[in-house]
Amino acid sequence: MFAESPIKRRKSTRIYVGNVAIGDGAPIAVQSMTNTSTTDVAATVAQIKRIQAVGGELVRVSIPTMDAAEAFKLIKQQVDIPLIADIHFDYRIALKVAEYGVDCLRINPGNIGSMDRVKSVVDCARDKGIPIRIGVNGGSLEKDLQEKYGEPTPMALVESAMRHVDILDKLNFTQFKVSVKASDVFLAVGAYRELAKRIDQPLHLGITEAGGLRAGAVKSSVGLGMLLAEGIGDTIRISLAADPVEEIKVGFDILKSLRIRSRGINFIACPSCSRQEFDVITTVNALEQRLEDLLTPMDVSIIGCVVNGPGEAEVSDIGLTGARNMSGYYVDGKRQKERLSNDDLVDQLEKRIRAKAAQLEQKNQIKVKQVS
């Protein structure tokens, strides 16, 4: 029962990272980055697969050395999700991973060195259809910009990004996206707002080094939420000092909150109080864990009593309203004759939610068939 998001997306050009469309109205892609040693091929492949299993659509891999580039070749052969190579300074690494099938190069043209080297990377990217991501970071601003602005400011970040953009413009290369990340929410938001006015290319959003799981998720939600609500942003990464899998989950939760993308269950649950007729918190936590694998978008409301239960259930795909011993059960907003015993709510709800998800999936397939 998802309502349309009222957000009007910023118009941008379109690029493709592998088979993932970015910009020009394409769904906002959720990405993460591996934190294994890239030369440990088995560990990196396993982590990429875990990221993909929870819905990750793009994965960035750090390539600091030629050994890592050789490992990248093996990694690329074992995964089927677009990979972005993170490269600093060494243009030869960029050429090497391009040869090995990289889907996007995260490299700043202004940091490559001589124009000949820049041109060799850009020509190679053009020939192979590989887009570039320019990535400016508040923590590594050029010295002269730090002196000019006194400290990292939104304008300093934008000026840095525009230097790289200008190089690509001169080489007539348009297939790029840009990020201007900072660990400070206002700094990042200010920079993205300004950059959005200056270029037409897609923007990759992130609040960099946001922190651990809870604080980082909150900081990212605030920063990215402000930008996404204004229609700014085409891909996102939640930068957490945590398992990359969590970055994907938080990313989708942010998009879900803004009704930009719906993926998996949107739980509506009350915080519970002494009126609750069953243990709301335990029930919701258990269901969240058990149903992590479900990708079908649906609203499920789990409310402890009749104060708010019926109202929420009436706008949910599945709803539960706490009542003594046997709770009220709703499907498609309609109250069912059947009531669910409070003794084994988790088992009963899991079964019913899975059945409903299968039904919704089938409906979607029929719709797709009719359209095609």
Closest by CA to 265, choosing from 290, 228, 237, is 290
Binding to ligand SF4, residues 284-303 (CB under 6 A): 303
The answer to whether the annotation marks 312 as part of a ligand binding site is yes
Minimum separation from the CB atom of position 89 to ligand SF4 (A): 55
Distance of closest approach, residue 281 Cβ to ligand SF4, in angstroms: 10
CB of 275 to ligand SF4, least distance (A): 4
Q: Is 104 annotated as a binding residue?
A: no
By the rule CB under 6 A, 315 interacts with ligand SF4: no
Q: If phi over 0 gives left and psi between -120 and 50 gives alpha, with beta otherwise, what is residue 150?
A: left
Closest by Cα among 190, 75, 52, 191 to 134? 191
Contact predicate 215/185, CB 8 Å? no
Q: What are phi and psi of 134, to 5 degrees?
A: -80, 130
Q: Is 124 annotated as a binding residue?
A: no
Range 45-74, binding ligand SF4 (CB under 6 A):
none
* Least distance CB 339 / ligand SF4 (angstroms): 17
Of the two residues 229 and 307, which places its CB atom closer to ligand SF4 in the complex? 307
Cα R_g (the chain), whole angstroms: 23
CB of residue 347 to ligand SF4, shortest distance in Å: 21
Q: Is position 340 an interface residue for ligand SF4 (rule: CB under 6 A)?
A: no
How far is 12 from 288, CA to CA, in rounded Å? 36
Among 35, 39, 308, 348, binds ligand SF4 (CB under 6 A): 308
Inter-residue contact 276 to 304 (CB < 8 Å): yes
The answer to whether residues 106 and 87 touch, using CB atoms and an 8 Å cutoff, is: yes
CB 276 within 8 A of CB 322: yes
Is residue 35 near ligand SF4 by the rule CB under 6 A?
A: no
Contact mark string toward ligand SF4, 247..276, x via CB under 6 A: -----------------------xxxx-xx
Strand, coil or helix: 354: helix
**Residue (205 or 287) nearer to ligand SF4, CB:** 287
Cα 250-255-261 angle, rounded to 5 deg: 125
Please pick, from the candidates 258, 307, 326, 331, the single residue that binds ligand SF4 as defined by CB under 6 A.
Answer: 307
User: Which strand (E) or helix (H) includes residue 327?
Assistant: strand 326-331
Least separation in angstroms between residue 327's CB and ligand SF4 is: 11
**Helix, strand, coil percent content, the chain, rounded in steps of 5:** 45, 20, 35
How far out from the chain centre does Cα 256 lie? 11
Pick the closest to residue 300 from 260, 356, 338 (CA basis). 356
CB of 305: closest distance to ligand SF4 in angstroms? 3
Return the number of the residue (246 or 277) whose C-beta is nearest ligand SF4. Answer: 277
Which of the residues 115 through 134 are near ligand SF4 (CB under 6 A)?
Answer: none
Binding of residue 282 to ligand SF4 (CB under 6 A) = no
Task: Specify the stretch interacting with ligand SF4 by CB under 6 A; choose among 17-25, 30-38, 305-313, 323-331.
Answer: 305-313
- In the numeric block, which tokens belong to residue 140? 């590594």
How many residues form the binding site for ligand SF4 (CB under 6 A)? 11
Helices (H), 295-344: 309-313
Residue ranges at the known binding site: 270, 273, 305, 312
Tell me which residues touch ligand SF4 (CB under 6 A). Answer: 270-273, 275-276, 303-305, 307-308
Residue ranges at the known binding site for [4Fe-4S] cluster: 270, 273, 305, 312
